[in-house]
């Protein structure tokens, strides 16, 4: 049994007196596609940033490929980062470079590969995400969905062992969502790439995920309220989880306040008993 690719233990992160992550623990094995879900503001992106080393936790341990990254010196983290790729929520492409130059960036900066081969790889990766022929456009000239896809092409430019994706399919049409999902499946199943995906696209999540965790909000802010395989999550008896995966507007996570609370909020005082 090989060691897990990612091992997070008791991760805590506070911003001032607000605790965003409160004791998160999970592991990701090689070849897994881990889906991190949760409502807006529950800390999914913050968690992802801790795992890639962009943020430092208040306490807790994060191990990637068996190495503890919270105490690692900068130069070593850089070496580690060559082994993974990240696709940001809005692409995070460099605006001053063309699409082709953006995808070529990791190759150009971190390898000694011939420029002609770089060109070839760029074309291959763009073809993979359905953007053949867009090499010479600037990010400002293409749609948001296309920018996301270029981001994905860039993230896999060096064929990393570990892929991180922050909402890879939000804003994409159903067909493109299926294309990206299929691509992620191909990369992970066929090339044995491990993936960590932050998503709230349930269709996509159940299509590609092998393990899922759900982060809580409100009183359960910063805790994992559900963890398991897609089957286990689908059959979960936690009503919050069911509300989330079925997309119901009202449930344990309330849409509207109870009448008394609402009046109190409006009038600024508890409602008199006799009315």
CA 69, 71, 74, 76 torsion-angle sign = negative
Cβ 136 to another protein shortest distance, Å:
18
Question: Under the criterion CB under 8 A, does residue 54 sit at the interface with another protein?
Answer: yes
Q: Binding to another protein (CB under 8 A): which residues in 181-240?
A: none
**Candidate list 15, 58, 94, 141; residue touching another protein; CB under 8 A:** 94
* Owner of token pair 């009315």: 275
Nearest Cα residue to 3 out of 92, 65, 55, 95: 65
* Owner of token pair 């889906």: 35
**Candidate list 78, 173, 186, 192; residue touching another protein; CB under 8 A:** 78
Residue 44 or 236 having the CB closest to another protein: 44
**Candidate list 92, 128, 137, 202; residue touching another protein; CB under 8 A:** 92
Question: Under the criterion CB under 8 A, does residue 105 sit at the interface with another protein?
Answer: yes
Q: How far apart are CA 204 and CA 127, in angstroms?
A: 21
Residue 27 or 45 having the CB closest to another protein: 45
End-to-end CA distance of the chain: 67
Nearest Cα residue to 215 out of 35, 2, 80, 36: 36
Site stretch for another protein (CB under 8 A), options 91-99, 173-181, 205-213, 222-230: 91-99
Question: Under the criterion CB under 8 A, does residue 81 sit at the interface with another protein?
Answer: yes
Q: How far apart are CA 121 and CA 115, in angstroms?
A: 10
Cβ 90 to another protein shortest distance, Å:
7
- Ranges of beta strands (E only) in the chain are 6-15, 18-28, 33-38, 59-64, 67-68, 84-87, 162-166, 194-198, 211-215, 224-228
Residue 40 or 269 having the CB closest to another protein: 40
**Candidate list 90, 113, 119, 243; residue touching another protein; CB under 8 A:** 90
Question: Under the criterion CB under 8 A, does residue 144 sit at the interface with another protein?
Answer: no
DSSP annotation of 127 reads H
Q: In sequence order, what are the residues at sequence separation of 6 or more whose Cβ sits closer than 8 angstroms to the Cβ of residue 194?
A: 5, 6, 28, 29, 30, 31, 32, 33, 161, 162, 163, 188
Question: Under the criterion CB under 8 A, does residue 86 sit at the interface with another protein?
Answer: yes
CA distances, 255 to each of 150, 168, 217, 248, 258 (Å) = 36, 27, 13, 10, 10
Binding-site string for another protein from residue 148 to residue 177, where x marks contact by CB under 8 A and - marks none: ------x-----------------------
Residue 156 or 212 having the CB closest to another protein: 156
Question: Under the criterion CB under 8 A, does residue 52 sit at the interface with another protein?
Answer: yes
Question: Under the criterion CB under 8 A, does residue 51 sit at the interface with another protein?
Answer: no
Residue numbers of the site for another protein (CB under 8 A)? 52-54, 78-79, 81-82, 85-86, 88, 90, 92-96, 105-106, 109-110, 154
């Amino acid at each position: 049994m090989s060691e897990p690719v990612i091992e997070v233990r008791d991760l805590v992160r506070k911003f001032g007196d607000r605790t965003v992550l409160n004791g998160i623990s999970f592991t990701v094995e090689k070849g897994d596609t881990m889906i991190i879900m949760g409502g807006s503001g529950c800390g999914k992106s913050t968690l992802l940033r801790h795992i890639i080393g962009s943020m430092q936790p208040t306490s807790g341990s994060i191990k990637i490929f068996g190495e503890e990254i919270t105490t690692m010196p900068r130069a070593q983290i850089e070496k580690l980062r060559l082994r993974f790729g990240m696709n940001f929520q809005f692409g995070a492409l460099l605006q001053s470079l063309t699409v082709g130059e953006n995808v070529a960036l990791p190759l150009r900066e971190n390898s000694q590969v011939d420029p002609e081969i770089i060109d070839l790889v760029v074309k291959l990766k763009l073809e993979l995400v359905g953007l053949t022929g867009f090499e010479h456009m600037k990010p400002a000239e293409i749609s948001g969905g296309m920018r996301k896809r270029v981001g994905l092409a860039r993230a896999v430019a060096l064929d990393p062992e570990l892929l991180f994706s922050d909402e890879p399919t939000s804003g994409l049409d159903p067909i493109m969502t299926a294309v990206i999902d299929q691509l992620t499946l191909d990369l992970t199943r066929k090339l044995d790439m491990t993936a960590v995906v932050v998503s709230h696209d349930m269709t996509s999540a159940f299509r590609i995920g092998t393990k899922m965790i759900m982060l809580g909000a409100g009183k359960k802010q910063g805790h994992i309220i559900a963890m398991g395989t897609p089957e286990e999550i689908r059959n979960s008896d936690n009503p919050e989880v069911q509300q989330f995966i079925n997309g119901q507007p009202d449930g344990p996570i309330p849409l509207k306040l109870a009448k008394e609370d609402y009046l109190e909020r409006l009038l600024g005082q508890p409602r008199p008993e006799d009315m």
